[in-house]
Structure 1
Amino acid sequence: MADFIRVDAHVHLYRTPEEGYAEKTGYEVWEYGTQSDVHQSDCVGTVDELLLQMCSTQISKAVVVNLFSATVNRKIALASLDDSLSESETAKRTADIDDWIRREVISFNRWNCDLSRQHPELAAFVAADVNALPGSLCAEHIKDMIENHAAAGVKLHGAFQGFDMSDERLWPTYQVCQDLNVPIIAHSGPDRESKGFAEPHAFAKMLDSFPQLRMVVAHLGGGTWTQTLDIAKAYPNTYFDCCEIIEWTQSDNGPTEKQLAQLIRDIGSSRVMMGSDFPWYDLDHSIDRVFSLPILSMEEKERIIGANAVDILGL
């Protein structure tokens, strides 16, 4: 039994090893620039891999955040269409692709919820994607996942999904989460097109509109971490995890260890959680990285590794 509560507040799982391998190899972590000695996991994101690591690290709960992008899946599917198709055939295939994407995000979310029922040590955070489920469909789906499938929260990744965090198409989904008191974990950091979709400042408008919504700004802003303290000071309903960024200290665009620890202290360490971003990184290494941070007290580090997530996410 662990000497203090241990929770991984940010992991990814996949339905098959092949799916996990494809997702992991196709998702490049580029925003931090170069860093020669980043620890990378050999895992591909299967349930058994995660449960084994949880057992060895005495982590009692892991938050499984579903990563799904209609934009990326649509682009891949359209690229596979035969160039010789007629205009009408292309239109039909495109409609079929869009219908498949809608079914796929629903299926992926149900799988995550079913998994958490089989393994109570896992908490399901389901993907919300307004490009897959337009209009009111996204909010209706999220409400169904929460009320009927025991989803514990929602996952967003604007940079990967292709929409701004303050895109008003998300308003109905935000309203559902605020009304049901369900937290959102949202990726933060730059995007390749420099649109700023998920940079910390992009959260301001939606945070103004939903002051009671518990919003976790993941990665402490990632490669745009210098924006994070402004958001933390302005919006007390924002919380943070230090996953991934803690593996990229001393990189071109990442903070030093001292800068990261000072950022956590300035935000308030009680608002920050540990996450591994498994299967990109390993749980034991994430714990070691938190313990290695300067400035913070041992009590603060132990709470970041566990108790903060219990309080913030209602686990």
Structure 2
Amino acid sequence: MDGIDVGALDAIDVHTHAEVGKDGHQSLSGELLAASEAYFKAHGHRRPTIDEMASYYRERRMAAVVFTVDAEHLTGHPRIRNEEVATSCAAHPDVLIPFASIDPHRGRAGVLEARRLVTDHGVRGFKFHPSLQGFGPSDRLAYPLYEAIQDLGVPALFHTGQTGIGAGVRGGGGIRLRFSNPMLVDDVAVDFPDLRIILAHPSFPWQDEALAVATHKEHVYIDLSGWSPKYFPPQLIRYANSLLQDKVLFGSDYPVLTPDRWMADFTALDIKPSVRPKILKHNAARLLGLSEQDGRK
């Protein structure tokens, strides 16, 4: 089976969003997408299809993890179907890696869906956005889903820190920031010790908490998406250069933040030459089970 040739890549972006489906259905309501655009100063940015994302990343000699967010319980807005994301990514196996998103409020149906998506549709991981999905990561509501993901041997990526979704909307659109404190994910790492976990984003205002969890728990990683590197807090750069050099991952948050902008600002950071390729590619390849030869172990 064809796959990703890690050796031919310059980077692996572990954090990109499918914002529009084949039928034009958007991943979030117009109000919440507009708030996100305002937060990222990305007014009127184009929402590429997954096919367009593949071409974009192929031109840059990059691979990308792609997912949507299932937040129907809190927002009432139907998701882009995980099967559609997986099928669209499967058409571009040289550059795209499908993740899925399942709202923990879906209960047993969500657990069954998770198993089906991995075994039948080639999904390689799962995205959670606790604030947008309206649950605390340590809530036992989500534990059956974590158990299934751990059994399936794929990673779980958690949004952490503040979110631009709902920013400036009345009442924040009902989105509670406290659910995205990375210390809540520490409980998950204890109770599911073999689950590989990614803490997404510089975790403002809980950066130190994220660093503590990642240094203490064996299988917890940090991705650097959602912020231009020129705004990274100094302690994040220090840990990325030292204790966490094997557990920090390049992520952009495309399309609201492009890998072009991220890479341009990353070159200006004081990152050791030996560490830079780990962050850009090798840590993600190891975590995702990709090999230098043919992209699959």
Do these two structures clear the TM 0.5 threshold for a shared fold by scoring above it?
Answer: yes
2: CA distance, partners of 1:173 / 1:280: 29
2: CA distance, partners of 1:248 / 1:194: 27
Q: How does 1:159-174 map to 2 (within 5 A)?
A: 159-174=131-146
User: How far off is 1:210 after superposition?
Assistant: 0.4
Q: How does 1:187-226 map to 2 (within 5 A)?
A: 187-190=159-162, 196-226=178-208
1:277 counterpart = 2:249: no
Q: How does 1:37-56 map to 2 (within 5 A)?
A: 42-56=45-59
Kindly provide the amino acid, as one letter, of the partner of residue 246 in structure 2. Answer: S
User: How far off is 1:303 after superposition?
Assistant: 2.1
Are the aligned partners of 2:228 and 2:261 in contact in 1 as well (CA < 8 Å)?
Answer: no
Residue 7 of structure 1, aligned match among 7, 12, 18? 12
Question: Greater Rg, structure 1 or structure 2?
Answer: 1
Partner of 1:182: 154
SS at structure 2 position matched to 1:226: helix
Residue 113 of structure 2, aligned match among 141, 144, 150? 141
Return the structure number with greater helix share. Answer: 1
- Tell me the C-alpha RMSD between the 2 structures: 2.9
Q: In the superposition, relative to structure 1, how do residues 226 and 24 fare at CA in structure 2: closer, same or farther (>3 Å)? A: farther
Partner of 1:85: none
1:157 counterpart = 2:124: no
2: CA distance, partners of 1:268 / 1:41: 36
User: How far off is 1:312 after superposition?
Assistant: 1.2
Q: In the superposition, relative to structure 1, how do residues 40 and 211 fare at CA in structure 2: closer, same or farther (>3 Å)? A: farther
Partner of 2:280: 305
User: How far off is 1:212 after superposition?
Assistant: 0.7
Are the aligned partners of 1:45 and 1:278 in contact in 2 as well (CA < 8 Å)?
Answer: no
Residue 286 of structure 1, aligned match among 262, 271, 278? 262
Are the aligned partners of 1:20 and 1:45 in contact in 2 as well (CA < 8 Å)?
Answer: no
User: How far off is 1:41 after superposition?
Assistant: 8.6
Kindly provide the amino acid, as one letter, of the partner of residue 125 in structure 1. Answer: F
The share of aligned pairs that are identical, in percent, is 22
Q: How does 1:66-77 map to 2 (within 5 A)?
A: 66-74=68-76
Question: Which runs of 5 or more residues in structure 2 are unaligned?
Answer: 164-171, 291-297
Aligned length: 272
1: CA distance, partners of 2:178 / 2:138: 11
User: How far off is 1:29 after superposition?
Assistant: 4.7
Q: How does 1:53-64 map to 2 (within 5 A)?
A: 53-59=56-62, 61-64=63-66
Question: Which runs of 5 or more residues in structure 1 are unaligned?
Answer: 77-100, 250-254
Q: CA offsets, 1:102-125, max 9 Å, x none?
A: xxx5x6101011112211121111
TM-score by length of 1: 0.77
User: How far off is 1:16 after superposition?
Assistant: 4.6
Q: CA offsets, 1:184-211, max 9 Å, x none?
A: 1111114756562121111121111001
User: How far off is 1:167 after superposition?
Assistant: 1.2
Partner of 2:166: none
Residue 130 of structure 1, aligned match among 104, 107, 118? 104
Q: In the superposition, relative to structure 1, how do residues 266 and 29 fare at CA in structure 2: closer, same or farther (>3 Å)? A: farther
2: CA distance, partners of 1:168 / 1:186: 16
Partner of 2:32: 26
Q: How does 1:231-242 map to 2 (within 5 A)?
A: 231-242=213-224
Are the aligned partners of 2:11 and 2:280 in contact in 1 as well (CA < 8 Å)?
Answer: yes
1: CA distance, partners of 2:204 / 2:30: 18
1: CA distance, partners of 2:189 / 2:287: 17
1: CA distance, partners of 2:256 / 2:44: 5
Are the aligned partners of 2:13 and 2:65 in contact in 1 as well (CA < 8 Å)?
Answer: yes
1:109 counterpart = 2:82: yes
2: CA distance, partners of 1:261 / 1:313: 23
Are the aligned partners of 1:66 and 1:127 in contact in 2 as well (CA < 8 Å)?
Answer: yes
Are the aligned partners of 2:161 and 2:177 in contact in 1 as well (CA < 8 Å)?
Answer: no
Q: CA offsets, 1:127-185, max 9 Å, x none?
A: 02022x12x11111101111111111111100111101111111111111111211111
User: How far off is 1:9 after superposition?
Assistant: 0.8
Kindly provide the amino acid, as one letter, of the partner of residue 277 in structure 1. Answer: D
